[in-house]
A and B are shown apart, each in its own frame.
Chain A
Amino acid sequence: MATVRLSFSPAPVHVRTARLVGVAVARRAGVAEELLDEVRLAIGEACTRAVALHNQYGLPDLVTVEMSDSDSYSVRVIDHAPIEASVGLAKLPPDELADESLTDEALTTGVGFALIAGLVDDLQVRPVEDGPGTEVRMIWPVSRR
């Protein structure tokens, strides 16, 4: 089992780095080429969400992305924001998306979660085991070469 772990300060500029690394490891792990765009987007969304939460709560802590390729390609994105921040993740219906009263932040959060949920078949969102925070775990199948 190979594991790559990446930790970055919660700045938007680093999300792209996380996407690039995530896709590189996915390709190396044997994730099908046609899934790589979805892997890129899902990892980006999970990291964007973590960065937004850290900024919202003024947390300088690093966001961690852990990638492992044992029997499948597993990516865990770990934030350290209070757990209640993860409550309310919900896909927004179309009439609410265009609602004038919906803030840009709420819209982006809802759309971001809709993307992760829509792209990843095997998805878990759960509290981290020690301290505050949430882990978004995404798994993709791999084919061994």
Chain B
Amino acid sequence: MELSLATRTVAEHTVLEVGGEVDVYTAPRLRERLVELVDAGARDVVVDLAGVEFLDSTGLGVLVGAMKRLRQANGSFGLVCSKEALLKIFRITALDQVFPIYPTIEAATQDSDGRGPTP
């Protein structure tokens, strides 16, 4: 399935809903969209991965890039993901220790300090 991207606002957070396959071919479009959002002034960004069917290292690299960009701009960045297949990818790469990962959009947008879900 092709990449799909949709943006909405939830509790003063910019939520980017991503769907389909995020790989070496489609990841540049995800990068562009995230850069556009930050350039347009978004500071609290949540990327919802619920609709993602495939995610590779290129996609992970784009997400790390966005997180760094937002940190430099004193913003916050979080991911919403509850799919075990994707969570496993974050664990293998140790990126689960880098990203705040939330089970729901509500949890992500209510975490005002951006430090991630409480264990």
Interface residues in chain A, defined as those with a beta carbon under 8 Å from any beta carbon in chain B: 12-13, 15-16, 19, 37, 40-41, 44-45, 48, 51-52, 91-94, 97-98, 100, 104-105, 107-109, 111-112, 114-115, 118-119
Contact = CB atoms under 8 A, between A and B. Distances in A.
B112 interface: no
B57 to A, nearest CB: 4
B65 A104 contact: yes
A114 B93 contact: yes
Given A16-B21, A48-B23, A48-B57, A119 B64 contact: no
A116 B85 CA distance: 15
Contact of A94 (B58, B85, B94): B94
Interface of B: 21, 23-25, 54, 56-58, 60-62, 64-65, 67-68, 72, 85, 89, 92-95, 97-98
Contact of B60 (A44, A91, A94, A111): A111
Contact of A107 (B25, B56, B64, B92): B64
A115 B93 contact: yes
B60 to A, nearest CB: 5
30 contacts: A15-B24, A16-B23, A16-B25, A19-B54, A44-B23, A44-B54, A45-B56, A48-B24, A51-B24, A94-B94, A97-B64, A97-B95, A97-B98, A98-B68, A98-B98, A100-B68, A104-B61, A104-B62, A104-B65, A105-B61, A107-B60, A107-B64, A111-B60, A111-B95, A112-B58, A114-B92, A115-B57, A115-B89, A115-B92, A118-B92
B92 A15 contact: no
Secondary structure of the B side of the interface?
helix
B61 A107 contact: yes
Contacts of B95: 94, 97, 111
Nearest to B21: A16
Contacts of B92: 114-115, 118-119
A126 B54 CA distance: 28
A25 to B, nearest CB: 18
A40 B54 contact: yes
